[in-house]
Amino acid sequence: MPAEKVVVSAEEIERTVPDTNGTAVLKPLPPAIPLWARALLCLLIPVLPLLCIVALILKVASRGQVPRIRHEISSFLTTLLATSGLLTTVAVVLTVALIPLPAIVNSGLPNLDERTEFPGFARSAPLSSAEVSSEFKPLVIIVSPAIKLWNHQEGPGNSLGAGVLLHATHDGYLFATAAHVVRGTFRLGSGPPDAMVTNSSGIWSAAQVIANSVPLDLALLWVPRHSGDASFVQPIADGSDGEDVFVIGHPEGLKYTLSTGIISGLRDNNIQISAAISPGNSGGPVYDAHGRLVGIVSSTFDRNNDANAENLGFAARAELLKDPASWSFFGDGRARLADYLKQLPQQPVSLSETSNASSK
């Protein structure tokens, strides 16, 4: 690399004086940047963009100066820019860490608020797969455990499950899901735990976990309502062995997937179903052919344990929702569940009566 040519100015020659031995000595030269200019430039340290502009201007303006002056100006500007960059970085980190950012989640479910009506009670005629898909998919939500983000807000976790609408009132929505879908939320502080929910809009909202039953693998969620007044009560039925069922969920992240099958067996507090389910279906509804809820998906047989296992899925009986003694409640969870149960018909809906009523 060629060395830069050394230039001695006339001013520097004039400042040379002989010492006692007759040797030429250079008298001290004035600084390239006066003290007052240094003080003004130091005031620009908090404003990095403006300092960069001023430094560029000074760098261009000093091109015609002797090397000594150019080097002094460059050295001083480099120090200023490094100091400003460091302070700016520290300020940004502290701002992001200490000042709350705008919420990244919504406060409700606008898609449900905008509905003017919900599906009616159990239908007299069996529903087709197309009818179940169009009418009941909007009642299913995506559920994720709430986690604390770096900005101290809550956000969705990495796992997804499903949930189903049980009750729509003037002030909110009651959903059912599987307890293991929101299990991580019970580590979030002392108040009612939160979960994250969304629907087809893709906008996440906070939901309170208001009840939990680990033995039954069931949980209840509550989302406040901000507009609208359309009401809904999800009918419940105790499924029969061999009857057709429909399952809606989000297997392997494939959101709002509908699968069909039958109730393969009744297993104490669970029903065994042949409908295809995978991780992501947990917490989703199992409907019968008349739109009644017969189960909440809880688990499937792990084919890693036995590659020959096929269509072995299980769901908690929806009838278990009617037993408050099995639940641990948070906040006003007991009252929310009681309000829903009060709206359910005391006796199972008679399909013949429903048919007669609809024909009148």
Q: Are 249 and 257 in contact (CB under 8 A)?
A: yes
Domain boundary residue, one of 76, 98, 120: 98
d(C-alpha 194, C-alpha 288), whole Å? 30
Q: What is the DSSP string of 261-273?
A: EEEEEEETTEEEE
Question: Could you tell me if residue 67 is inside a domain?
Answer: yes
201, 297: one domain:
yes
Q: Are 144 and 184 in contact (CB under 8 A)?
A: no
Q: What is the pLDDT of residue 315?
A: 94
Question: Could you tell me if residue 147 is inside a domain?
Answer: yes
C-alpha 315: how far from chain center: 26
Mean pLDDT within 208-217:
91
C-alpha to C-alpha distances, 153 to 56, 104, 148, 188, 199, nearest whole angstrom: 41, 8, 6, 11, 21
pLDDT tens-digit readout, 218-246: 999 999 999 988 999 999 999 899 999 99
Question: Could you tell me if residue 3 is inside a domain?
Answer: no
Q: What is the pLDDT of residue 349?
A: 43
Domain boundary residue, one of 45, 69, 98: 98
> What value does the mean pLDDT of the chain take?
81
Q: What is the DSSP string of 300-343?
A: E--TTT-TT--S-EEEEEGGGGG-GGG-EE-TTHHHHHHHHHHH
Question: Could you tell me if residue 251 is inside a domain?
Answer: yes
Predicted model pTM: 0.68
Q: What is the pLDDT of residue 358?
A: 36
Q: What is the pLDDT of residue 19?
A: 55
Looking up residue 238, the CATH number of its domain turns out to be 2.40.10.120
pLDDT tens-digit readout, 308-317: 556 678 999 9
Q: Are 87 and 201 in contact (CB under 8 A)?
A: no
C-alpha to C-alpha distances, 96 to 26, 154, 188, nearest whole angstrom: 53, 15, 22
Q: What is the pLDDT of residue 98?
A: 66
Retrieve residue 256's tokens.
């709002």
pLDDT at 359 over 50: no
User: Residue 360: pLDDT band by 50, 70, 90 thresholds?
Assistant: very low
pLDDT tens-digit readout, 317-337: 999 998 888 889 998 999 999
Q: Are 280 and 249 in contact (CB under 8 A)?
A: yes
67, 123: one domain:
no
More confident: 352 or 2: 2
pLDDT tens-digit readout, 130-168: 999 999 999 999 999 888 766 566 778 788 999 999 999
126, 192: one domain:
yes
Full residue range of the structural domain in which residue 285 is found: 110-345
Retrieve residue 237's tokens.
């039925």
Per-residue 3-state assignment (H helix, E strand, C coil) for 115-137: CCCCCCCCCCCCCCHHHHHHHHH
pLDDT at 298 over 50: yes
Q: Are 121 and 344 in contact (CB under 8 A)?
A: no
Total domains in the fold of the chain: 2
330, 229: one domain:
yes
63, 136: one domain:
no
Strands (E), 179-251: 194-198, 205-213, 218-224, 232-233, 244-249
Give percent above pLDDT 90 in the chain.
41
Q: Are 211 and 330 in contact (CB under 8 A)?
A: yes
